Amino acid sequence: MTESTANRGESAAHAEVVLVTGAASGIGAALARRYARGGAQVVLVDIDEAAGLAVAAETGGHFVAADVARLDDNRAAVEVAVSAFGGLDVVHLNAGTGGAGGAGEDFDLDRYRRTMAVNVDGVMFGIHAALPALRARGGGAIVATSSLAGVAPTPFDPIYGASKHAVIGLVRSLAEKWSEAGITINAICPGFARTGMVPGALLEHLHGEGYAVAEPDEIAAAAVDIAHGKGTGQAWELQAGQPPTPVEFPHIALSRSTTDAR
């Protein structure tokens, strides 16, 4: 893991401190830019050092080259935020990857493991690493990037879909416990957005079929609002031109025995 600082201001201790993974491009870079415009101190985390440093220089942020699939890298990134800016207030666990294939002849063990490591371990490790710093601050917010693929079947990339379902399950399962410490944990579920995850050919097809494609900043704006909100344990559908909408999950009532236990 390596790190670099750009334009660290004297008011760092008084500004909101935000950590963003997958910050070198797409939604992550849009988050970094949006928070920086609002006066926050931003720690940008990504495996792509060149692109990450460029966004850090643009935003006056602090870049950390790290692999979110490694627990120690997540801990080190949080330590950088605390040592550089005095604490941590908001965490966006946005790093992700796709294209792992399916369960048949297209199954690739290495791609499967990498997808699950980045998309699931990266969120779990990020939450685990951030919780002590957020609790020390008296509370804070965690937002994990899932996907509409985490809500609906994804036959064109089923392993990616499974990983994004797991993110939502993790968020919903952890939220209640950590709300007692003043920490909210939510997931965002973007639809198609103009990022590197959506190849140009697919973008052309979507436009040709009349589907709307969100710009990264539209997703980032909604994610910032969710981080600053009071709700927790929710998954938010984010689609181009539509307001953020919480996903409705069924309420499951556990069955009870009808036996008269005398």
- Digit-by-digit pLDDT tens for the chain (262 residues) are 766 554 444 344 468 999 999 999 999 999 999 999 999 999 999 999 999 999 999 999 999 999 999 999 999 999 999 999 999 999 999 999 998 889 999 999 999 999 999 999 999 999 999 999 999 999 999 999 999 999 999 888 999 999 999 999 999 999 999 999 999 999 999 987 777 666 566 666 666 667 778 899 999 999 999 999 999 999 999 999 999 999 999 999 999 988 755 5
Q: Is residue 104 part of a domain?
A: yes
pLDDT for position 57 = 98
Check 35, 112, 160, 211 and give the catalytic one.
160
Side-chain half-sphere exposure of 178, counting CA atoms within 13 A:
28
- Distant-in-sequence, close-in-space partners of 40: CB < 8 Å, separation ≥ 6: 15, 16, 17, 18, 90
Count of structural domains within the chain: 1
Is 161 a domain residue? yes
Answer yes or no: is 261 within a domain: no
Q: Are 186 and 143 in contact (CB under 8 A)?
A: yes
Does residue 168 fall inside a structural domain?
yes
Q: CA 122, CA 46: separation in Å to the nearest integer?
A: 11
Domain assignment present for 259: no
d(CA 166, CA 106) in angstroms, rounded, equals: 22
How much helix, strand and coil, in percent to the nearest 5, is found in the chain? Answer: 45, 15, 40
Tokens of 35: 């928070």
Can you tell me which residue has the tokens 């294939």? 101
Q: Please indicate, yes or no, if residue 253 is contained in any of the structural domains.
A: no
Q: What's this model's pTM, rounded to 2 decimal places?
A: 0.91
Q: What's the pLDDT at 5?
A: 52
Report H helices in the chain: 26-37, 49-59, 71-85, 109-116, 122-136, 158-179, 200-208, 216-227
pLDDT the model gives residue 13: 45
CA atoms within 13 A on the CB side of 252: 2
User: Which pLDDT does position 223 carry in this prediction?
Assistant: 98
Region for 126 from its dihedrals, namely left if φ exceeds 0, alpha if ψ lies in -120 to 50, beta otherwise: alpha
Domain range for residue 88? Answer: 2-246
Residue 178 lies in a domain: yes
The label of the residue with tokens 């036996």 reads 259
Residue 97 is part of a domain; what is its CATH number?
3.40.50.720
Residue 221 lies in a domain: yes
Question: Is position 160 annotated as part of the catalytic site?
Answer: yes
Order of strands, sheet of 183-190, starting from the edge strand that comes earlier in the sequence: 2-5, 62-65, 41-46, 17-21, 90-93, 140-145, 183-190, 235-238, 245-246
